[in-house]
Amino acid sequence: MEPMHLIVGLGNPGAEYAKTRHNAGFLLVEKLAEQWRAGWGNEHKFVARVAKAERNGRKVLLAEPQTFMNLSGEAVGALVKFYQVPLEKILVIVDDADLPLGEIRLRPGGGSGGHHGLESVTQHLGLKAYARLRIGIGRKNEVRQISGHVLGKFSADESALLEKVLKRAANQMECWVDAGLQKAMNQFNGVVDSTNEEK
């Protein structure tokens, strides 16, 4: 039997954090679950919400750790171990304040870039060579202290652009499951252009 794909969106649980910039990962896996008609359930042993889907005959597990961002790795590590997910079928989605809103970047590995969620995942997996999709959320005035910005909600203008970003990113995730990392990177990485989002 073919191993399961695992797509984990990082964020903070709770109504007060819903639809904040820091929860871009949650927003994308929720969009995927909607597209794939997958229902969510709470899995207490993983401290995560999970949704099981199928994409062209391939099994995909969508997950939202419920541990708060800086402990995300606890849930990811537990899911990977339980479902025996191979490294090349793990993908983690995060917000990135160093990328402008409107840009997405899928990579096969790398550092955390100061993102506490990725730091935790790397710690629990014991390696950096897992795919991660960064969704740009920008930063205000190039300030390093950005907690207020990342925990803030998207403005009306930002939300309109975000919808296009999530659509593009969801297509990229489908391409990753169907055709692998390289094609998904080549075809979808970059700045979202509203004129080509209908492809």
Catalytic entry in 22, 115, 116, 124? 22
Say if residues 63 and 49 touch (Cβ distance below 8 Å). Answer: yes
Q: Of 85, 95, 155, whose CA–CA distance to 125 is shortest?
A: 85
In whole angstroms, give the CA distance from residue 118 to residue 135: 13
Is 44 among the residues known to form the active site?
A: no
CA distance 81 to 90: 12
> Does an H or E element contain 11, and which?
none
Q: Tell me which amino acid residue 34 is.
A: E
**189 burial type by CB count under 10 A (0-12 exposed, 13-18 middle, 19+ buried):** middle
Q: Map residue 51 onto helix, strand or coil.
A: strand
The one-letter amino acid at 79? L
| Spatial separation of the C-alpha atoms in residues 133 and 123, rounded to whole Å | 18
Catalytic residues: 22
